[in-house]
Structure 1
Amino acid sequence: MSKSNGKMRVAAVADLHVKEDGSVTYRDLFKEISDVADVLVIAGDLTDLGKPQEAQSLAADLKGCTLPVVAVLGNHDYQCDAVTEISSILIQSGVHLLDGQMVEINGVGFVGAKGFAGGFGRHMLGSFGEPAIKAMVSESVAEAMRLENALRKVNTERAVVVLHYAPIAATVAGEPPEIYPFLGSSRLAETIDRFKVNAVVHGHAHRGVYEGVTPGGAPVFNVAAHIEKPTGRPYAILEI
Structure 2
Amino acid sequence: MSATSDAEARFGPPGSLTVAAIGDLHVTEASEHKYRDLFAEISQKADVLALCGDLTNFGKTREAEILAEDLRACTIPTVAVLGNHDHECGQPQEVARILHGAGVTVLDEQAVEIGGVGFAGVKGFVGGFGRGELGAFGEAAIKGFVEESINEARKLENALRSLRTERVVAVLHYAPVAETVAGEPAEIFPFLGSSRLADAIDRFDNVRFAVHGHAHRGTFEGKTPRGVPVYNCAQFVVSEQFGRPYALIAV
Alignment of 1:117-128 (within 5 A): 117-128=126-137
Residue 3 of structure 1, CA deviation: 6.0
Deviations 1:161-219 (A, max 9, x none): 00000000000001011111110000110110010210100000000000000000100
* 1:198 aligned counterpart, secondary structure: strand
Q: In the alignment, is residue 206 of structure 1 matched against residue 210 of structure 2?
A: no
Deviations 1:91-134 (A, max 9, x none): 11110101132100010000011110000000000111121111
Percent of pairs with identical residues = 59
The aligned residue for residue 83 of structure 1 is 92
Residue type of the partner of 1:237?
A: L
Q: In the alignment, is residue 153 of structure 1 matched against residue 162 of structure 2?
A: yes
* 1:220 aligned counterpart, secondary structure: strand
* 1:226 aligned counterpart, secondary structure: helix
Cα 1:23–1:91, aligned 2, differ >3 Å: closer, same or farther?
closer
Q: Structure 2, unaligned stretches of length 5 or more? A: 1-8
Residue type of the partner of 2:218?
A: G
Residue type of the partner of 2:13?
A: N
138-147 or 22-31, which deviates more: 22-31
Q: Matched residue pairs, number? A: 240
Residue type of the partner of 2:24?
A: D
107-116 or 229-238, which deviates more: 229-238
* C-alpha contact 1:39 1:69 (8 A) present in aligned 2: yes
Deviations 1:46-101 (A, max 9, x none): 10001010000000000111110000000000000111211111111110101132
Task: Name the CA distance, whole Å, in 2 between partners of 1:46 and 1:192.
Answer: 23
Alignment of 1:128-147 (within 5 A): 128-147=137-156
Q: In the alignment, is residue 188 of structure 1 matched against residue 207 of structure 2?
A: no
* 1:45 aligned counterpart, secondary structure: coil
* 1:64 aligned counterpart, secondary structure: coil
Residue 145 of structure 1, CA deviation: 0.4
Cα 1:93–1:125, aligned 2, differ >3 Å: closer, same or farther?
same
Residue 2 of structure 1, CA deviation: 5.3
Task: Name the CA distance, whole Å, in 2 between partners of 1:166 and 1:222.
Answer: 8
Task: Name the CA distance, whole Å, in 2 between partners of 1:93 and 1:23.
Answer: 15
Residue type of the partner of 2:170?
A: V
The aligned residue for residue 237 of structure 1 is 248
Q: Structure 1, unaligned stretches of length 5 or more? A: none
